[in-house]
Amino acid sequence: MKAEKNKNAIILFLATGAYSGNMPFAPGTFGTLVGLPLCYYLSFLEWHVQLFLIIVFMPIAAWICGQGEQLLGTKDPGAIVIDEIAGIMITFYCVPFSLINVICGFLLFRFFDILKPYPISKAEHFFKGGTAVLMDDVIAGIFARMIFALFIH
């Protein structure tokens, strides 16, 4: 019983981005901010190591999203922000970490994550469970990264 309770507490801690998703307003924005230090550390790694870690992170995040949905008893609750962390990781893939890049990347990702233009808006209907929670943010991160590439180069 205690082991199950501890497991659930760890899942909720991770799913909510160290409880940043429990903020009473803009939990996705706070979750994205929690992801920035991870992006900073990833920026020191070679491109192929960054890509590997992002790819490994995705199924783990999807599982945590699914478990978080079950524990919180609702579909895609705002408190789950590990999906925003995944999205911002994609946005900053191979991007030099500087103040202007952080501001631009953060704003681009939040723009796509909040507005959810097509096909981002269709992701939650196409996928199921934790993957559905994750994929709209992954696609938002890809869109933000593509636009970001235009600014960088």
64 touches 108 (CB < 8 A):
no
Query: Which residue matches tokens 């939040």?
Result: 110
Count of CB atoms situated within 10 Å of the CB of 127:
16
pLDDT tens-place string over residues 77-102: 999 999 999 999 999 999 999 999 99
Where along the chain do its domains lie?
2-152
pLDDT tier at 125, thresholds 50, 70, 90: confident
Burial of 79 (0-12, 13-18, 19+ CB in 10 A): buried
